[in-house]
Chain A
Amino acid sequence: MAEFIHSVMLDVDRCTGCTNCVKRCPTEAIRIREGKASIESRRCIDCGECIRVCPQKAKSASYDRLEEIEHYRWKVALPAPALYGQFDNLESVDRVLNGLLLCGFDDVAEVSRSAEFVTEYTRCYLRRPDIVKPVISSACPVVSRLISVRFASLCPNILPILSPVEYAARKARRKALNEHPDLRDDEIGIFFISPCPAKVSYARQPIGVEKSAITGVLSIRELYFRLVGTMKQVAVPKPLRRSGRIGLNWASSGGEASALYNSKYLAADGIENVIKVLEEIENENLSELEFVELNACPGGCVGGCLTVENPYIARVHHLRRSMTVAQTGISPEQERDIPRQYLWERPLTESSVLKLDDDMDQALKKLAEIKRLGQSLPGLDCGACGAPSCHALAEDIVQGKAHETDCIFVMREKIREIYRTVSQLTGREQEGGTKP
């Protein structure tokens, strides 16, 4: 299997090996090796929890720089719905869109507009008779990856419709090619202005599609000050906005689900709540629901770790009031089924990373060994060994990734033993030496 590329980076000099991130990681992907945090890439789901929790600010997300866009003849910005909530007293979305053009982009395509189409098609999808419910939103890539790693039985529940950003990227690319026939595909740069590192990884390793139409991913946080500047330069913004309230609401938890006009929904945010809800769905405890919206970040995408504003402050109430509900122009009767090009090309599948061995007999043996080892460890889950728990250390030992003596308690016992043997030996020698 190809190695996953992730977007979380470690500043080795800053990392003190404190284990805060190790304990917080929802897939137990982080260990301290030789005093520094290291991520097992196949397990990482790009949730950004380690970035949020690190007291040393040693973890950060990698993303593309604004200069990157200069490599392309035609540059399109895809602002995330969460971008609008970052500015105090924003009077119109158009100001942001015009500001983006002044940052060097040739065109803008609002992801919030695509979100409204995805909403329409999700309504169509929910009317299909043969689907597995509750349908789980596929917009947050962290949730999709989490399902494939930890909740694989829910793969069929995932909504197989392009995420708003992929939808927007494909449309933007097609539009550029149509309007500018002289452009080659590789001369077009489609850049998402992202609230989270998960979308950075998504663009490189998309879910549901073979290849993403996104060229690069910029961070809201990095672009922010530049954008605040260009937005001020805009005297009278050109009317560019083509989305309504529904699209904007996608930025916050509940926005996607409530737009479906179907009261049998649930929306949860924050990785711990997401895990609880997935657990409940697997136990068939929420089978009365039709749709479940899950966002890994607290508060929804506005809580992504590449944003500027606190998610509970990033609100766009005053903006919404002056806007239409949606601008897709699709009426429910008009759109009977979902055009193929907006559906996923391949289903979500189970990731085998948690499997101990391909052979079940071997896996059973390893499991027994883990259990035995686990019982011999102190059970304090102190983290000093670099693993999140004693059980995780036992797993690592059996998988050949760690040693029993990584546990300081086992080590202390071993040293005591050595000390005892040595003192016994030297004692005997002394006896021998004093013999007349």
Chain B
Amino acid sequence: MTLHYDIDGENFQTAGEASANVKKVLRQLGISTDIIRRVAIAMYEGEINMVIHANGGVADVAITPDRIEMTLEDSGNGIPDIALAMQEGYSTAPENVHELGFGAGMGLPNMKKYTDEMKIESTVGVGTKVFMAVNLK
């Protein structure tokens, strides 16, 4: 089972819709609330990052009885130093975004914390691809 989402980079209001939908689907599958929570938070953070830092992108979620895989891809500016970006508290978010409650530099660390596997590929000027997986078994 795969789910596909286009994430609109222009609209803060709709940011979070994809992760909300994934949550609904996982509930329909009877997945445990703890796993749903981890997937939803990881997906939400990834989705918000694409909106704030990359002007939107696409998300694909593949669900099998063994695991849930999320791939988020954008053609934004890319991340020059991934290790630095992964550090808690590191953020390049602009001031206006802070007012909305984002920009604490906790998104990527949380994505790592809540998933069993996470990979980032990024090329400056080309875009970023984040892969995350949560095991069900």
Contact = CB atoms under 8 A, between A and B. Distances in A.
Given A153-B33, A364-B1, 18 more contacts: A152-B36, A153-B34, A153-B37, A155-B33, A282-B23, A282-B37, A282-B40, A284-B41, A285-B101, A350-B33, A352-B30, A354-B24, A354-B28, A356-B29, A363-B28, A364-B29, A364-B63, A371-B3
22 contacts: A152-B27, A153-B34, A153-B37, A279-B16, A282-B23, A283-B41, A283-B44, A284-B110, A350-B33, A352-B30, A354-B27, A354-B28, A355-B29, A356-B28, A358-B30, A360-B31, A360-B65, A361-B65, A363-B28, A364-B64, A367-B28, A368-B1
A58 B28 CA distance: 31
Interface of B: 1, 3, 16, 19-20, 23-25, 27-31, 33-34, 36-37, 40-41, 44, 63-65, 101, 110
User: Which of A155, A283, A354 gathers the greatest number of chain B CB atoms within 10 Å?
Assistant: A283
Contacts of B63: 364
A396 interface: no
A150 B24 CA distance: 8
B63 to A, nearest CB: 7
Contacts of A368: 1
A396 to B, nearest CB: 13
Contacts, number: 57
Contacts of A361: 65
A285 B63 CA distance: 25
B107 to A, nearest CB: 11
Contacts of B20: 279
Contacts of B24: 354
A352 B30 CA distance: 8
Contact of A283 (B16, B25, B29): B16
Contacts of B110: 284
A152 B16 CA distance: 18
The 4 nearest A-B residue pairs measured at CB: A153-B33, A153-B37, A355-B30, A283-B44
A355 B28 contact: yes
A367 B27 CA distance: 11
Contacts of B29: 355-356, 360, 363-364, 367
Interface string A117-150: 0000000000000000000000000000000001
Contacts of B27: 150, 152, 354-355
